[in-house]
Amino acid sequence: MKRKLVSVIMSMAMVACVSLPVFADDAAATTELAPNDKGAEELTLWHYFDASADAQAIIDFCNEYNALQDAVYINPTYVSRQELMNQYTIGAVSGELPDIGMVDSPDMASYISLGVFEDVTDQLGDWDEIKNFYPGPLSSCKDADGKIYGLPQNSNCLCLAVNMDALKEAGIDEIPASLDAFKEAVEKTTDADQSRYGFAMSAISTEEGTFQLLPWIVATHNGTKTSLSDLTAADAATGLDVLGGFVANGQMSPECVNWTQADDYNQFCAGKAALAEIGTWHLASIKDDVNGAFEYQVALLPTGDEGTSSSTIGGENFGICTGCKNTEEAVKFLQWFMSAEEEAKWATQAGKLPIRSDAEPVYDYEEDGFKMFQEEMNYALARGPHAEWPTISEQIYTAAQKVFLNGESAADALAEANAVIAPILEANPLPEQ
C-alpha cells in the first residue's frame, strides 16, 4: 500500500512536470520578459500590477529599458500587494529586499521610517525635471526632512460611475453634482424588484476602504472644507451620515464592509448598483465588463456643496530599497521610467494618470472618462505622508463601519476616531495640501 501511495503521488507529480512545457507555451500568448543575454548586472524589481493591462505594461517597459542600455538588467517580479507589504516589513528586520520596490503611496512614509528605502537625495536632488512632478504624489516619496527615497510612477483618484439607463428610468435628467442631488439619485435609483442598489462603494477594513471613504469626510459643506485634523468640526459628519442612511434604508448593501474596490466595481458592471465609486484604473476594462448592458458615464464625486468635489489621490511609487546592488543605475532607470515620454505611454497603456505636468497621454479609449478623472485630481487629497498613516487609516474605516453596521451616529463615530487621530497629528502633523 505504501508503494501504491508513493506511486499515486509520483504519477501526479509526473503529470504535472511532463505537461508543463506543453501548456506553458500555449498560455504564453502575451509578450514574455526577454532574457538577460548581455550578462548585465541584474536588478530585481518587485511590483503588484495584476490587472491585465498594467501587468503586461511592466514587462514591456522593462524589456524596452533592458534593450536600451547595457549596464543593468531590470527583472520584474509580481508579488501581491498584501504579501509585498509583509516582505517589506520582514525585510526591514532581515535586510532581504529587492533592489527596486513598488509601494502604494500612503504606505511609503511608514516604510521610509522602517528603513526599507534608501535616501537618494544625492542622485535626485539636482535633477531639474523634478519640478515637473505634481507636488502631491511627489511628497509621498519624501520624509519630514525633505529627503527623497524614490519617485511616484502613476496616480489615480476616485470618481462616480453612473448607470445612465437607471438614472433615466428614475426620471432624473442630470448627473448629481451635489451631495443633496446625489442623495436623491441614490434613493430613486434603488430598485428592490431588480435587486439593484442605488450606490456601491468599498468600506472594507483595509487601506482600500479608507481610500474610498475619505472623499465623503473631507468634503466641502456650506463653503468649509473639513480637515482630517479636526473631525469634530460642524459639518465633518455630514457625508458619513448620508452614507450611513443609504445602508439603513436599503439603498447601499451592508456587504460594502467586505467589498474591495474590485467588488464594488463588479457590482456596478453587473447592474446591481446604479451609482458606484470607481478608480481611474477601472477605465481600462469597464467597456468589456459592462458589455453593452447599459449606458454609463463618469462624473465628479458629488460629496458636498453644488459645484464642489473631493476625492483621494492614489497611486504607486517606486523606491530604491536599502542595500540596492547599484543605486546609481537604479535611479537612472527610475529617471527613464518616469520621464515625460514614458509616463505618457504608461498612462495610456495601463489606464492611469501621469504624475508630471509635462506628460501628455493621448487616450484612445474612454477619453471623456479620463478627462473627468484628470479634473477630479484637482480636488483630490493625498493621504499623508505620515509614518503612522496605518493607524489613522484604521480609525477612518472603523468609524464608517460603526455607522454602517451598528447604526452609531456619524458624529459620535468620528469623534471617537478623532480621539486617536488628533494626538498622532499633534505630535507629527500632516503636511499642508
Partner 1 sequence: MAAVAKQKHRGKGIRRENEGYAFILPGVIYMILVVGYPIVYNLILSFKDTNVQNLAKGTSVFIGLQNYKELFQNPTFLLILKNTFIFTFGSLVFQFTIGYLLALFFYKKFTLAGPIRGLMLIPYMMPMAVTGLLGQNLFLQDGLINKLLSWIGVGPLPWLTSTATAMVAVVIMNCWVGIPFNMLLLISGLSNVPEDVYEASSIDGASKIQQFFRITLPLMKDAILAVLMLGFIYTFRAFDLMFIMTAGGPLNSTDVLGTYSYTLSFTQYQFSKGSAVAMVLFMCLMVIGILYLILIVKGEKDE
Partner 2 sequence: MKNDPKKNYRFHSKEGRRNLTLSVIAVVLGLVFLFPIYWMLQISFKSDMETFGKVLTFFPHQFTIDPWIANLGDKNFLESLRNSFINGFLTMVLTMAFGIPAAYGMGRYKLKGYQAFLLIFLVAQMLPASLMLTPMYLTFSKMHLLGTFFAPPIAIAAGSVPFAVVTLRPYFKSVPVALDEAARIDGCTTLKSFFLVMIPAVKTGIITIVTISFLNGWNDLMYTMTFNVKPEMRPLTANIHKFQSKYGTKWNCIMAYGAILVLPVIIMFIFLQKYIVGGMTAGAVKE
Beta bridge partner(s), residue 152: 317
Cell of 10: 509520483
3-state helix/strand/coil string of 297-328 = EEECCCCCCCCCCCEECEEEEEEEECCCCCHH
Number of residues that bind partner 2 (CB under 8 A): 46
Looking only at residues 392 through 431 of this chain, which bind partner 1 when binding is defined by CB under 8 A?
394, 398, 401-402, 405-406
Cα 400 from Cα 383, distance rounded (Å): 17
Nearest CB to partner 2, comparing residues 225 and 272: 272
For residues 20 and 362, which CB has a smaller minimum distance to partner 2 in the complex?
20
Q: Which is nearer to partner 2, 86 or 249 (CB)?
A: 86
Q: Which does 71 bind (CB under 5 to 8 A by kind): partner 2, partner 1, none?
A: none
Closest CA to 382 of 250, 230, 193, 218: 218
Question: Per-residue x/- mask for partner 2, residues 217 to 256, rule CB under 8 A?
Answer: ----------------------------------------
Q: Where are the alpha helices (DSSP H) in 95-170?
A: 105-114, 121-124, 135-139, 164-169
x/- map, 175-204, partner 2, by CB under 8 A:
-------------------xx---------
- Whether 222 and 307 have beta carbons less than 8 Å apart is answered as no
Does the footprint of partner 1 cover residue 323 (CB under 8 A)? no
* Torsion angle of C-alpha atoms 57, 63, 67, 72, degrees rounded to 10: 110
- The CB-of-88 to partner 2 minimum distance in angstroms stands at 11
Q: Which does 24 bind (CB under 5 to 8 A by kind): partner 1, partner 2, none?
A: partner 2
In this structure, are residues 104 and 316 in contact, taking their beta carbons and an 8 Å threshold?
yes
**Site stretch for partner 1 (CB under 8 A), options 107-115, 140-148, 159-167, 281-289:** 107-115
**Relative orientation angle of helices 207-217 and 238-248, to the nearest 10 degrees:** 120
d(CA 222, CA 209): 26
ω into residue 354 within 30 of 0, thus cis?
no
Determine which residue in the list 96, 306, 328, 412 makes contact with partner 2, applying CB under 8 A: 96
In the bound state with partner 2, the residue whose beta carbon lies nearer, of 281 and 379, is 281
Ranges within 11-30 binding partner 2 (CB under 8 A): 12-13, 16-17, 19-20, 23-24, 26-28
Return the number of other C-beta atoms located less than 10 Å from residue 249's C-beta: 12
By beta-carbon proximity to partner 1, the closer residue of 311 and 401 is 401
34 binds partner 2 (CB under 8 A): no
- Given the rule CB under 8 A, which of 108-116, 162-170, 217-225, 331-339 is the region that contacts partner 1? 108-116
327 counts as binding partner 1 under rule CB under 8 A: no
Half-sphere exposure of 291 (CA within 13 A, CB side): 5
* Pairwise CA distance, residues 374 & 9, whole Å: 55
> Which partner, partner 2, partner 1, none, binds residue 205 by CB below 5 to 8 Å per kind?
partner 1
User: What is the C-alpha separation between 145 and 135, in angstroms, rounded?
Assistant: 15
Can you tell me the distance from the alpha carbon of 385 to that of 431, in angstroms, rounded to the nearest whole number?
7
Please name the residue that has the C-alpha cell 465609486: 277
Indicate the residue among 203 and 350 with the shorter CB distance to partner 1: 203
Q: Identify how many contiguous H helices and E strands the chain contains and give both numbers.
A: 17, 13
Question: For residues 112-131, which are near partner 1 according to CB under 8 A?
Answer: 113-115
d(C-alpha 412, C-alpha 120), whole Å: 44
Q: Is 328 a binder of partner 2 (CB under 8 A)?
A: no
Q: How many CA atoms lie within 13 A of 166 on its CB side?
A: 30
Q: How far is the CB of 315 from partner 2 (least distance, A)?
A: 17
Q: Contact between 365 and partner 2 (CB under 8 A)?
A: no
Where in 338-397 is the site for partner 1 (CB under 8 A)?
387-388, 390-391, 394
Q: Which does 192 bind (CB under 5 to 8 A by kind): partner 1, partner 2, none?
A: none
Which residues here bind partner 1, judged by CB under 8 A?
Answer: 85-86, 89, 92-93, 110, 113-115, 195, 204-206, 253-255, 257-258, 387-388, 390-391, 394, 398, 401-402, 405-406
Which residues here bind partner 2, judged by CB under 8 A?
Answer: 1-2, 4-5, 8-9, 12-13, 16-17, 19-20, 23-24, 26-28, 46, 50-51, 77-83, 86-87, 90, 93-96, 194-195, 259-263, 265-267, 270, 272
